[in-house]
Structure 1
Amino acid sequence: MIDPRRQRELNRLLAHLGIDSSHKINWQILDLSLVHPSYSTTTNNDVLEFVGDSVLRLATSMWLHENYSDRKVGELAALRSHLVSDRVIAEIAAVYDLDRLLVMSNAARNDATAVRSRLAAGLEAVLAALYLSTNDFSLIRSWLDPHLEQAAQKLMSEPALGNYKVALQELTQARWKLLPQYQTLDPQDAEDDGAGNKTGTDGQELFTVEVWVADRCWGKGQGKSIKAAQQAAAAVALQALQARG
């Protein structure tokens, strides 16, 4: 039995999603989808997150097929990768104030660096709960599709679908017939993040990469992986070169 106060919160969530609570809903699973692992190591949304990841990818693939079937497979894959990323999913979760509904420990709630990951995980778990309630997408597509459209339109307005390395390479080849060269700096040579350290907000060490074109450094970026740092550096370089004209 779900506590009446919790039931009202779940009803409000469904109303916010535009779902009539008279639909067949597995309330126990929906409640569980909003229990963070920090609250209980045995009764939490981990498994539902795992299922929801597949639900999200399939729903997104279906939406892309229905709306962008004229695109090449590689472009569709790039779009899907972006649309199911933690950043996009967390932004959607924030619209529905999901963080307020998550049951978690005080330590987890006070960890500002983990907000994105727990929001994304929470929404994926909710997707699983909704899918498992009906074994179809009838409780999902009506509210998820508009978010996918908005995120896709925003992405397609960016150079090379947000792949700044590709966009930079296209520009430098057209301008100089040269490829950008990326150099990963030794941690001792890297600049700090402006707060006196060379780690991210979650304590993970950051990689620093410079991108050079025509014997000049046009951009520097940091990331939790070399690939992410290269993308950040390419974004800076692309902006600099475009401003140069």
Structure 2
Amino acid sequence: MNTISRQRLLNRLGYEFKDPDLFDLALTHRSCGARNNERLEFLGDSILNFIIGEALFERFDEAKEGQLSRLRAQMVKGETLAEIAREFDLGPNLNLGEGELKSGGFRRDSILADAVEGLIGAIYRDGGMQAARDRVRVWYQSRLDALQLDTNRKDPKTELQEYLQARKAALPVYEVIDVGGEAHAQQFTVACRCELLPEATEASASSRRSAEKMAAAAALQQLSLSNPGGRG
């Protein structure tokens, strides 16, 4: 990993390691040999589950155990971790064996997800629980903000599309209207324009995808207010 790429990733993570070897180890896949991130991944998985569980416990104070468990599973699943890894542009910084490198392992969800867990474990070992908690909360903030207790509801973008299609209206259009913040804490502001609303709804989040979901949810809320009982 070259120095520029390394520092760029550290900036995005928002954490500077006191022990750089931990950072390197967290990004080292088992295809490189016996020195790899599997133990840090094991540790990071446990810490991630606790931190997200704690955040959900605080956010949804009336939720039952089963609801909290389902929400946590949604937050810590491999697909979500891989999304976070791509937001950090983690793939090009992975240490992979020759075979994994040739087969495009730096794009594989499972490898990306494992590396994020490895980084959480490494931050815990380097800076303690509070450092790990701070970073995970920041990385997950937009996802936690967009989370709804009703896990059976569809993605807001899907729900909005179906709402408009049922009324033979044009599909919504999403546009990034601003990107701000430091490299490690970028904020994307997205506008969602709908034929049935006079003005676009806007939302900001740490990823474009999350901002689009939040803008879609805001559009749905306005459509519901203008047409009570018309969500179905």
TM range, normalised to the smaller chain? 0.5 to 0.7
Query: What corresponds to 2:206 in structure 1?
Result: none
Query: What corresponds to 1:124 in structure 2?
Result: 117
Residue 147 of structure 1: CA displacement?
4.2
Which structure's relative contact order is higher, taking Cα pairs within 8 Å and 6+ residues apart? 2
> Could you tell me whether the CA contact under 8 Å between 1:79 and 1:152 is conserved in 2?
no
Query: What corresponds to 1:65 in structure 2?
Result: 57
Q: What does the per-residue CA deviation read over 1:192-233, in whole Å, with 9 as the maximum and x for residues that have no partner?
A: xxxxxxxxxxxxxxxxxxxxxxxxxxxxxxxxxxxxxxxxxx
In structure 2, relative to structure 1, the CA distance for the partners of 1:6 and 1:55 (3 Å cut) is: farther
**Moved runs in structure 1, 4+ residues, more than 6 A?**
none
Residue 18 of structure 1: CA displacement?
2.3
Residue 155 of structure 1: CA displacement?
5.4
Cα RMSD after superposing both structures: 2.7
Query: What corresponds to 1:104 in structure 2?
Result: 96
For structure 2, list consecutive stretches of 5 or more residues without a partner in the other structure: 155-231
Q: What does the per-residue CA deviation read over 1:50-75, in whole Å, with 9 as the maximum and x for residues that have no partner?
A: 11111111111121122222211111
Query: What corresponds to 2:6 in structure 1?
Result: 10
Residue 159 of structure 1: CA displacement?
5.5
**Counterpart Cα distance in 2 of 1:69 and 1:30:** 36
> Could you tell me whether the CA contact under 8 Å between 1:17 and 1:96 is conserved in 2?
yes
Alignment of 1:195-214 (within 5 A): none
Query: What corresponds to 1:165 in structure 2?
Result: none
**Counterpart Cα distance in 1 of 2:95 and 2:69:** 34
**Counterpart Cα distance in 1 of 2:147 and 2:103:** 29
SS of the residue corresponding to residue 160 of structure 1 reads: coil
Query: What corresponds to 2:82 in structure 1?
Result: 90
> Could you tell me whether the CA contact under 8 Å between 1:78 and 1:161 is conserved in 2?
no
Residue 146 of structure 1: CA displacement?
4.4
**What fraction of aligned residue pairs are identical, expressed as a percent?**
28
**Counterpart Cα distance in 1 of 2:149 and 2:20:** 40
In structure 2, relative to structure 1, the CA distance for the partners of 1:34 and 1:115 (3 Å cut) is: same
> Could you tell me whether the CA contact under 8 Å between 1:25 and 1:130 is conserved in 2?
no
Residue 161 of structure 1: CA displacement?
5.7
SS of the residue corresponding to residue 129 of structure 2 reads: coil
Residue 152 of structure 1: CA displacement?
4.3
**Counterpart Cα distance in 1 of 2:137 and 2:12:** 15
Query: What corresponds to 2:163 in structure 1?
Result: none
Alignment of 1:45-64 (within 5 A): 45-64=37-56
Q: Which has the larger radius of gyration?
A: 1
SS of the residue corresponding to residue 38 of structure 1 reads: helix
Alignment of 1:155-194 (within 5 A): 156=148, 160=152
For structure 1, list consecutive stretches of 5 or more residues without a partner in the other structure: 163-244
> Could you tell me whether the CA contact under 8 Å between 2:19 and 2:126 is conserved in 1?
yes
Query: What corresponds to 1:174 in structure 2?
Result: none
**Counterpart Cα distance in 1 of 2:151 and 2:46:** 28
> Could you tell me whether the CA contact under 8 Å between 2:60 and 2:149 is conserved in 1?
no
Q: How many residues align?
A: 155
**Counterpart Cα distance in 1 of 2:78 and 2:6:** 23
> Could you tell me whether the CA contact under 8 Å between 1:25 and 1:133 is conserved in 2?
yes
In structure 2, relative to structure 1, the CA distance for the partners of 1:134 and 1:65 (3 Å cut) is: same
Q: What does the per-residue CA deviation read over 1:65-87, in whole Å, with 9 as the maximum and x for residues that have no partner?
A: 22222211111000001111000
**Counterpart Cα distance in 2 of 1:81 and 1:106:** 33
